[in-house]
Amino acid sequence: MLEIIELHKRYRSNWLTGRGHQAVEPATFHIAEGESLGLVGESGSGKSTLARLLLKLISADGGRILYKGTDISGYSLKQMRPLRRELQIMFQHPHSALNPRRTLLDSLLEPVLLHRIMNKAAAREKALALLDVVGIRAELLPRYPHQISGGQIQRIVIARALMLEPKFLVLDEPTSMLDVSVQAQVTQLLQRIRKEFGLTYLFISHDLELVRHMCDRIGVMKEGRIVELDESERIMERPQHPYTKQLVNAFQAFKQ
């Protein structure tokens, strides 16, 4: 579905220090249709930056992005607009994902009305159907984000993404801000809708066990570079790179 070739990003020099920062070293990998690819690494390793680069939410300094065989690297904002329906992202902080001045219903309807896919009545009917999928009661729709829990907000965010019938979802630490009891519920929901809707995931997390559970393959990032990329079980059982070995050893020590 996606092929990334030598994609990289450097933030310009700081005028105080005179130094720049290589946020993402040249990265080359692919994501197959229906696959869930995980990215793990410590904070600041470049995971989120890489995800935003491949969605063209920020501009790359070089490299190519092929979506279903078409090179979209040079696409303008206008050219990307139709693809935004297929390429969606869920951010880490659920409370910042929704406009606090809009009701939950307005937030759900906003994407389809913005893309002019259907009228408001049809959009409302679709939203109600998706509420059943994500496990939200319809009577919550007149409320505002501050009136519901973080787990409920994340379910609304999932439903809003599904309103556009996406093909590819970037999940950027989708459970890290939730209570432990809620994390498992949202994780199970994400697994279910991946199968039900035939979605492809890029799953970003610092939680190695969660990524192992959610993903077919794992990419390990350190200081802007993908240092290892392999099948999930192989990464966990036979890590090759020293940094990957440190992560796996730390995880195993924590479990004990």
Chain segment 43-63, per-residue pLDDT in tens: 889 999 999 999 999 999 999
* Region 140-154 average pLDDT: 91
Token pair in block for residue 233? 């079980």
Q: By C-alpha distance, which of 115, 205, 107 is closest to 156?
A: 107
Statement: residue 135 has pLDDT above 80: yes
What does pTM read for this prediction? 0.90
Q: Give yes or no for residue 183 having a pLDDT over 80.
A: yes
Please tell me the predicted confidence (pLDDT) of residue 131: 93
pLDDT at 72 over 90: yes
pLDDT bracket for residue 178 (50, 70, 90): confident
Residue 234 falls inside a structural domain: yes
Evaluate whether residue 141 is within a structural domain.
no
- pLDDT-derived band at 252 (thresholds 50, 70, 90) equals confident
Backbone angles phi, psi at 44, to 5 degrees: 85, 5
Strands (E), the chain: 2-11, 21-31, 36-40, 62-67, 70-71, 87-90, 168-172, 200-204, 217-222, 225-231
Of residues 57, 21, 2, the one with CA closest to residue 167: 2
| Confidence band of 188 (pLDDT split at 50, 70, 90) | very high
Q: Which of 48-52, 81-85, 95-99, 143-147 has the lowest mean pLDDT?
A: 95-99
43 located within any domain: yes
Is 148 a domain residue?
A: no
Between the alpha carbon of residue 210 and those of residues 98, 144, 203, the distances in Å are 25, 30, 10
57: exposed, middle or buried (C-beta count within 10 Å: 0-12, 13-18, 19+)? middle
Q: How confident is the model at residue 177 (pLDDT cuts 50, 70, 90)?
A: confident
Percentage of the chain exceeding pLDDT 70: 95
Residue 17 has what pLDDT? 59
Q: Does residue 165 lie within any of the structural domains?
A: no
137: three-class secondary structure by DSSP: coil
pLDDT, position 256? 61
Name, in order, each residue with C-beta under 8 angstroms of 129's C-beta and a sequence gap of 6 or more: none
Q: Which of 108, 45, 78, 62 is nearest to 246 (CA)?
A: 45
The whole domain housing 41 covers 1-79+205-256
Q: What is the pLDDT of residue 52?
A: 95
What integer is the mean pLDDT of 218-240? 95
Task: Check which CATH number belongs to the domain holding 15 and give it.
Answer: 3.40.50.300
Any domain includes 197? no
Check pLDDT > 70 for residue 19: no
Instruction: Identify the residue with better confidence: 66 or 11.
Output: 66
Give the count of domains, the chain.
Answer: 1
In tens, the pLDDT along 86-97 reads 999 988 776 777
**Within a domain: 109:** no
- In this structure, the number of other CB atoms found within 10 A of the CB of residue 167 comes to 20
Which pLDDT score is estimated for 115? 86
Which pair of structure tokens corresponds to residue 101? 């001045």
Token pair for residue 39? 């990215």
Is 110 a domain residue?
A: no
Query: Burial of 199 by CB count in 10 Å (0-12 exposed, 13-18 middle, 19+ buried)?
Result: buried
CB atoms near residue 165 (< 10 Å): 14
